[in-house]
């Protein structure tokens, strides 16, 4: 019997202010790359909680998701590594920087770029989803947060086997 396919679930913040988008520059195995504030969903959190946590860790700013921009499926291959990502991208409100916090390990800096600058830097993006999420945001794609439902079992400390 083959192993069950399990995509990696990630969350991303699409943050626009005064016509510019917030990106992070980060170290990756492919070198310095640009990305939305983003990362993997952790056990015991909803996608909205995950994106707030990741944004705080990568930018030092509190983030309150207001809408879902989109849900994206992508595949990444590096040598023998073959990973499928399921990304939940949110837009929302960025608060002030939190005193005493530093950028997460691997994050070099944050940048505010115009849409044209984001498009021009596509070769440096960590994923094609960076540009796709911005374009969807610019196109006005917004879905209510209650589109996503997180069952209470996710927040319980005991893990139970779910249905197949």
Beta-carbon count within 10 A of 21 CB:
21
82 has pLDDT over 60: yes
Which whole number is the average pLDDT over 23-45? 96
| pLDDT value, residue 59 | 98
Q: State the DSSP H helix or E strand holding residue 83, giving kind and residue range, or none if neither.
A: strand 81-97
Of 137, 150, 138, 146, the C-alpha closest to 69 is 137
Per DSSP, the chain holds a count of helices (H) and strands (E) of: 3, 8
- Dist. CA 3–CA 146, nearest whole Å: 32
Q: What pLDDT, on a 0 to 100 scale, did the predictor assign at position 159? A: 54
pLDDT at 94 over 70: yes
The token pair that represents 101 in the structure block: 């916090």
CA–CA gap between residue 57 and residue 61 (Å, rounded): 8
d(CA 132, CA 118): 11
pLDDT of residue 77: 84
Average pLDDT over residues 118-122: 98
Asked if 5 and 83 touch (Cβ cutoff 8 Å), the reply is: no
**Mean predicted confidence (pLDDT) in 75-92:** 91
Q: How many CB atoms lie within 10 A of CB 118?
A: 22
Which residue segments constitute the domains of the chain, with CATH numbers given?
8-142 (3.90.79.10)
Confidence of residue 1 (pLDDT cuts 50, 70, 90): low
Non-local (6+) Cβ contacts of 130 within 8 A are 23, 34, 35, 36, 118, 122
Termini Cα distance of the chain: 15
């Amino acid at each position: 019997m083959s192993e069950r396919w399990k995509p990696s679930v990630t969350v991303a913040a699409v943050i626009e202010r005064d016509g510019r988008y917030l990106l992070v520059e980060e170290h990756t195995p492919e070198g310095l790359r640009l990305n939305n504030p983003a990362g993997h969903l952790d056990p015991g959190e909803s996608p909205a909680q995950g994106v707030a946590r990741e944004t705080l860790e990568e930018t030092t700013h509190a983030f309150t998701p207001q809408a879902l921009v989109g849900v994206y499926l992508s595949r990444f291959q590096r040598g023998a590594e073959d990973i499928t990502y399921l990304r939940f991208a949110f837009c929302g409100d960025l608060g002030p920087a939190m005193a005493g916090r530093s950028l997460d390990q691997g994050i070099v800096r944050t940048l505010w770029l115009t849409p044209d600058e984001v498009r021009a830097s596509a070769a440096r993006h960590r994923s094609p989803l960076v540009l796709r999420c911005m374009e969807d945001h610019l196109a006005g794609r917004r879905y209510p947060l209650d589109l996503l439902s997180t069952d209470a079992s996710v927040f319980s400390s005991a893990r139970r086997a779910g249905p197949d």
